[in-house]
Amino acid sequence: MNFRLFTACVIILLLVPGIVNAAESPPELQTAGTLYTQSVDLANEGKYKEALLAADQALALNVSSLMPIIQANRAGILTVTGRYDEALTAADASLAVEGNLTTTHSIAWYNKGDALRHLGRFDEAKTAFAQAQLLDPTLQPPKDLTPTITPVPTTAKSPVPGYLAAGALALVFVIGCVYTRGKR
């Protein structure tokens, strides 16, 4: 038998089961997987709002085999968008699933550590980063564990001290009363 023909036959034999399995998998699995992949791609492009929407749509399909990886990914997206408490919830949801999920759990631990770091919970962050690194030695914790603060909008304050502002308001009120009294 010709070597090229033999190689082609081996390749076909290797590919056919994958093609058949993909064709036989339920549409929800294909859709949830597609949405998850889309979520990852969007996050890599910096389109976090859209990435989170795609991840949430994938979760809504309730495909249990994909839930841990989707939640681990969501934890990272939520951390980047400053939604740290939600990121912790997503990471914990991923970590709660048992099984041979080393890669998924390493990502969830890392993203949990990052959210904890942003919340100023440094000891817990160090522990989470250590767990991530234990599962995947390539995941290095940040050198600086101080949080990168996401600016929180503050209520605008007057540069005038409160007592002066109150006095000015009272003066305007008195002048208004005197003015309207003179008009009568």
CA proximity to 67, closest of 113, 98, 110: 98
Task: Write out pLDDT tens, residues 59-102.
Answer: 999 888 999 999 999 999 999 999 999 999 999 999 999 988 99
Fold observed for domain 19-149: 1.25.40
CA proximity to 143, closest of 126, 160, 127: 126
Q: Is a pLDDT exceeding 90 seen at residue 15?
A: no
Q: Is a pLDDT exceeding 70 seen at residue 44?
A: yes
* pLDDT (0 to 100) of residue 14: 40
Structure tokens at 7: 């190689």
pLDDT band at 131 (very low <50, low <70, confident <90, very high): very high
Looking at the whole model, is its pTM more than 0.75? Answer: no
The residue ranking higher by pLDDT, 165 or 133, is: 133
Task: Write out pLDDT tens, residues 138-171.
Answer: 998 888 776 555 443 333 333 334 443 344 334 3
* Residue linked to tokens 């030695």: 137
* pLDDT (0 to 100) of residue 67: 94
The domain spans of the chain are 19-149
CA proximity to 95, closest of 83, 113, 117: 113
For 11-60, give the DSSP string.
HHHHHHHHHHHHHHS-HHHHHHHHHHHHHHHHHHTT-HHHHHHHHHHHHH
Q: To the nearest whole number, what is the mean pLDDT of the chain? A: 74
Task: Return the SS3 of 99.
Answer: coil
